[in-house]
Amino acid sequence: MNTQARLIGSVFETRNLHLAAVDPETDAVIEATWMTDQAYSEDRRPSPARPASVSELKSLMQTDLKRMKDSADFIIFSVRRNLDERLMGFIRYDLLLWNHRSGRMKILFGGQESFSRYGRELLDLCLNYVFTEMNFHHISVAYPEYRQDAIDLHLEAGFQEEVRRRQAHFYHGRYWDLVHLGLLKSDWKKISEES
């Protein structure tokens, strides 16, 4: 069964995962354990990687929820496993330009195990939501070049490299290129129909 047909029943759920509301009270406790993973911490906020307290993360989540309520340029979901409601990560859609039907997406995986096991399924869920429910024409992501696993996952799903900002990202004592990838709805539909 192709991806589009598999997901058409719900824009919020796949076989193993579903999108849910963020719950700062419980989600912050779990996310605090992920913040010692340097890649996750760096993805979570644009500051040097560091552990974060539960209260700090709860405050950030409350700010995100207020932003989502007050403006149309940001949407956030938690991602939970269907089997046991276990928190697996977060999806953030921002820089949403509704008049252009384009925006940016960030997937925050709660650890390498979640990424390895559910990466493609979660990406398919995100793309189904953005192209069917939001009716967007273009979605983009950005990763530093050393995050080759995430870049490969998106390329496999049909994203194309659109911009490479040379040495725009500093990590572990050196500068790395920042790779911007994008996907058009028409390309997503074509790939979905072929799989």
DSSP, collapsed to helix, strand or coil, labels residue 11 as coil
Q: Over the stretch 53-91, which tens digit does the pLDDT of each residue have? A: 999 999 999 999 999 999 999 999 999 999 999 999 999
Residue 125 maps to which CATH number? 3.40.630.30
- The rounded Cα 177 to chain-centroid distance in angstroms is 20
What is the tens place of the pLDDT at every residue in 156-190?
999 999 999 999 988 888 999 999 999 999 999 99
Where would I find the H helices in 45-111? 54-70
- Contacts for 29 with CB less than 8 Å, ≥ 6 apart: 54
For the chain, give the longest Cα–Cα distance.
Answer: 47
Q: Supply the range of the domain harboring residue 154.
A: 3-194
CA atoms of 124 and 108, how far apart (whole Å): 14
Q: How many residues does the chain have?
A: 195
- Tell me the mean pLDDT in the region 100-129: 91
Given a contact cutoff of 8 angstroms between Cβ atoms, the answer to whether 139 and 180 are in contact is no
**Quick one: pLDDT band at residue 9, thresholds 50, 70, 90?**
low
**What total of structural domains would you count in the chain?**
1
Distance CA 124, CA 50 (A): 30
Q: Which residue has the higher pLDDT, 44 or 134?
A: 134
For residue 91, the cross-strand partners are: 77, 107
Tell me the pTM.
0.87
